[in-house]
Amino acid sequence: MLSRDIPLREKSIVFIGFMGVGKTTIGNLVAEKLGRKFIDTDVELEKEFQMPISQVFTQLGEKEFREKEKALIMKLSQERSLILSLGGGAFLQKEIREACLANCIVVNIHLPWESWKERIPLLMESRPVLQGKSLEEIHELFQKRQEIYAHYHHKFETENLEAEEVSDEIVKTLLLNKQIKVKNIVIGDGPPKICVPIIGKTINQIKKEAAYLKTIEADLVEWRADFFEHVEEINQVKSALEVIHKELASIPIIFTFRSAREGGEKDISPDYYMELNKAVIHTGLVDIVDVELFSDEDIIKEVVNTAHANHVFVIISNHDFEKTPPKDEIIRRLRKAQELGGDLPKIAVMPVSANDVLTLLEATLTMNEHYADRPIITMSMADKGKISRLSGGLFGSSITFGAAKKASAPGQIAAAELRGILNILYRG
């Protein structure tokens, strides 16, 4: 089984382990914490057979059950961002093992024999492979299965732990790897990376801005194409991109068309918005595209799929220029961006008070610690929100936006000044 090119943060998580160790309970909790869909393959198979698994074994035989089990798991292993709990015998099949190990994150849930055997009376009726066996035979089965379960990416012991505790430890472990490498920049590692905009209206202005950006300390460059006077002509957009890429080939380039409703310079039709982003992705001249969260969901999915197929990362963003939503709503939007496949969920909000800035920072911290499985970007705009551009990284924001000569959003700080302050804040 060849590995599909699924980004780590989008791989489905597969729980394996002996029957009755708590895979379903723990898997459900992990799914809830990560905002993912949970599937118990045994439950799905019972729906397909329209009878309990114990009856499938007695009426149709184990062979037919295993064939259906393999077909189901092979299919699910190709999908992204699921939480799967496999039946205790599923990993006996080589094809299932290879598919899950190649395409998913395999988590082994283990309970020692001495503790597990206390559960036998609760399991006997519903587990046909246990029925008619002596304790010694069950122990032998338990030991043999451990050899199969030795194929995993992570292993968690559950003895003397509540399911909630185990699920918290799993989520903590899986969320530690929240980094994206773009060219020579690792987003999510160390201080927030500084992104600086290009906002020229003409190709000549764009060329001058790109040349100037080589002289300042920017980690990433965002081309705000909505400022470009010929943005509605794709060939002109491609020409401008060639100019930018020629000047800044070693720096990650973000392509952004910001709509007027989210603070941009103009609006375009939804169809052209999708066509524009897909055309830019296919040039191979950009590293990241920014797609607005409140675009049509089908458009978002199409752009995300096109980007990932061409090894381009995606920011899914939301900008609220009127207010700062409540903490739970900020988190909901970031989680939605993550669910839609955004590699970098982003939100920028407008504060009317200092408390609004605190709301944004608190939402950032909660999202980063409890829900995010990838880097996130957050900021509070305008003068009141400047502190979030400086200290956001302490709460979990991975990119901050600075200005070169002219800001593209309210509250942006000059990139050189921003670098100096970040060096002080994140020193050591």
Residues 130 and 28 in one domain: yes
Question: In the listed set 175, 199, 226, which residue is the last one of a domain according to the structure?
Answer: 175
Quote the pLDDT of residue 410: 64
Q: Which of the residues in the chain have pLDDT under 50?
A: 1-4
Asked if residue 396 belongs to a domain, the reply is yes
- Name the H helices within 190-229: 203-213
Residues 202 and 165 in one domain: no
DSSP class of 382: T
166 and 188 assigned to the same domain? no
Whether 117 is in a domain gets the answer yes
What span, in angstroms and rounded, lies between the C-alpha atoms of 102 and 6?
Answer: 10
Let me know how long the chain is.
428
> What are the helix and strand counts (H, E) for the chain?
17, 16
- Class of residue 125 by CB neighbours under 10 A (exposed 0-12, middle 13-18, buried 19+): exposed
Pairing between β-strand 193-198 and β-strand 399-403 as defined by DSSP bridges: parallel
pLDDT at position 377 is 98
Residues 162 and 184 in one domain: no
Same domain as 291, residue 157? no
Domain boundary among the residues 175, 196, 231 is at 175
Cα–Cα distance for residue pair 145/17, rounded to 1 Å: 8
Among the listed residues 15, 163, 27, the one whose alpha carbon sits nearest the alpha carbon of residue 88: 15
Which domain does 169 fall in, by range? 8-175
Separation of alpha carbons 238 and 230, rounded Å: 10
pLDDT for 131:
83
**Whether residues 186 and 123 fall in one domain:** no
Same domain? For 168 and 185 the reply is: no
Query: Within this chain, do residues 391 and 284 fall inside the same structural domain, yes or no?
Result: yes
Phi, psi angles (nearest 5°) of residue 198: -110, 125
- 62-76 and 94-103 helices cross at what angle (nearest 10)? 20
Q: In what order do the strands lie in the sheet with 154-157?
A: 37-40, 82-85, 13-16, 105-110, 154-157
Number of domains forming the structure of the chain: 2
- For residue 357 the two structure tokens come to 């800035």
Same domain, 280 and 158: no
| Burial degree of 161 (CB within 10 A; 0-12, 13-18, 19+) | middle
Is residue 3 domain-resident? no
* Alpha carbon of residue 120 to chain centroid: 39
Whether 1 is in a domain gets the answer: no
Beta-strand relationship, 193-198 and 185-187: unpaired
Q: Both 118 and 192 in a single domain?
A: no
Q: Kind and range of the H or E element at 377?
A: strand 377-380
What global pTM score does this model have?
Answer: 0.66
CATH number at residue 237: 3.20.20.70
The domain boundary, picked from 107, 142, 175, lies at: 175
Residues 400 and 254 in one domain: yes
Confirm if 366 and 345 have CB atoms less than 8 A apart.
no
Distance CA 219, CA 195 (A): 6
Place of tokens 């046909």: 128
In a domain, 355, yes or no: yes
- Kindly state whether residue 336 falls inside one of the protein's structural domains: yes
Nearest CA to 223 out of 183, 379, 213 is that of 213
Which residues, at least 6 apart from 425, have a Cβ–Cβ distance to it below 8 Å? Answer: 191, 390, 391, 393, 394
Could you list the active site residues? 319, 346
- What is the enclosing helix (H) or strand (E) of 313? strand 313-320
CATH code at position 35: 3.40.50.300
- Contact criterion met (CB below 8 Å) for 407 and 196: no
Tell me: do 122 and 192 sit in the same domain.
no
* 3-state secondary structure labels for all residues of 72-101: HHHHHCCCECEEEECCCCHHHCHHHHHHHH
User: Helix %, strand %, coil % for the chain, to 5?
Assistant: 50, 20, 30
